Structure 1
């Protein structure tokens, strides 16, 4: 949550107008595939879950 809050603080005086989830639960990781702008934080204990994420190929 600290990183997500820091990013929003760095945008001052602007505000993030899109989806903002400071800590995304592991059960909702499929939300990271959303085709919209978002700012979501992942808990550091979920390292096994992060290895399941697929990055898009360029």
Structure 2
């Protein structure tokens, strides 16, 4: 299964988030996506960090401290 970009995740409508998580859990790509987003949270580029944080929030994960 294709691993979506941060931008792809940000484009998800609220109605499709549960399906997205289910599909990527089933295909075992959710952990890859989460790893990429977590790496982006540590980026030196503030825009990259902000996008990763927004993507995590879009997926329903709480804000990181």
With normalisation by structure 1, the TM-score equals: 0.30
Structure exhibiting the larger radius of gyration computed from Cα positions? 1
Q: Which structure's residues are more often strand, by fraction?
A: 1
